[in-house]
Amino acid sequence: MIKQTSETIEGFTSTEQLAEGEFIEGYSITLGVQDRKMVPDDVYEIYNDGFQGKEYVAPDAMPLFGVHNWASSTRTYNNSFNLKLTQTALKVALKIGLDFVDACGHPFPQTFDTIIVKTGGEADRRIKQINNKKINTIRTDRIESETAWFLQTTDCNAIYCENNRLGIVNPPFMMFGSTGTK
């Protein structure tokens, strides 16, 4: 017979189990062990679907990467293009982030510090040639496109998890994507 009690304190769950006379105590993040594997797959799926918007969309109901409307104004912004990853394309994308303005027209610079590419893909080979030491590179086989590349600022979180579903909570101004096709 197993007796289990749980208590959540400051985002962590303490679980005590008594099984066959043994006392077992463990801690797990509230997402739970089973959900932890799901999160990375879903995070990368957001990037894979980012240009189509079939499964995941920004708060303006548009694909994650593209032209977006601010809810509070008539201003728009674009967080994508289709350039292959080159030194010039990377500089342009970084400048787009630094020149970003909010819905009211106030400067709101985004410092993209991470690039995400498919392991062994064309974008991966290109970022190795560029060798920009200011950008952290995430290489993963979970990105489907050989040519796409994605920039992200790590000082702001656009992705949240609720009821085991990932979603986009903020307009995706802190992300930039390129299909890498031209």
Helix (H) or strand (E) holding 87: helix 87-98
Above 80 in pLDDT, residue 96?
yes
Q: Quick one: 62 and 143 in the same domain?
A: yes
Q: How many domains is the chain built from?
A: 2
Segments of 30-122 assigned E as strands: 67-69, 76-78, 80-81, 114-118
The tens digit of pLDDT for each residue in 100-111 reads 988 788 888 899
25 with 97, same domain: the answer is no
**Taking 70 as the threshold, does the pLDDT of residue 157 lie above it?**
no
Is 63 in the same domain as 18? no
Instruction: Compute the average pLDDT of residues 87-111.
Output: 90
Q: Do 94 and 139 fall within a single domain?
A: yes
More confident: 151 or 44: 151
Which tokens in the block code for residue 19? 């099984």
Same-domain status, 2 and 87: no
Q: Which residues constitute the domain of residue 17?
A: 1-30
Contacts of 54 (CB under 8 A, 6+ apart): none
Q: pTM above the 0.85 mark?
A: no
Same domain, 26 and 44: no
With pLDDT > 90 as the criterion, what percentage of the chain qualifies?
A: 43
| DSSP H or E run through 7 | strand 2-9
Do 15 and 72 fall within a single domain? no
pLDDT in tens, 70-82: 777 788 889 999 9
Domain identity same for 49 and 112: yes
Q: What is residue 42's predicted lDDT score, i.e. its pLDDT?
A: 65
